[in-house]
A = this chain, B = another copy of it.
Amino acid sequence: MEPLRKVSLAEKFALFDDAWNPRVVGAWDGQQVKLAKFRGEFIWHHHEHEDEVFFVVRGAVRMGLRDPEERDMLLQEGELLIVPRGVEHKPAAEGEEAWVMMLESAGTLNTGNVRGERTRDTLERI
């Protein structure tokens, strides 16, 4: 077993600058802890089989939700949202930049059902 290492979110976020490119910082029980910087808007997508947890570490995130009953949701620092499988969503930074910790099954693709230029098939482990 590899030695236990603690993970400082601030240290890890300092290691990269590009937006919408999640890094993996830890794994447990088939799940992964991913960190990403959000700038501007992402794309509409959903995940067929995976729920996703978004936790705002810095800044704020506007989660677009298509269902008119849900409306957009504004997430501030220290707030989290669980987006269940099948629910269309479009994350966006509210303001200049947001730092987000995501918790999800290891195989979850960042763009879900929508393959395109923003799809990241392999994620860097940092």
Contact = CB atoms under 8 A, between A and B. Distances in A.
Interface residues of A, number: 37
Contacts of A65: 4
A6 interface: yes
Interface string A59-82: 000000100011001011011111
A52 interface: yes
A84 B28 contact: yes
Contacts of A83: 4
Interface string A68-111: 01100101101111111001000000000000000111000000
A67 to B, nearest CB: 9
A26 interface: yes
Interface string A12-36: 0000000000000011110101000
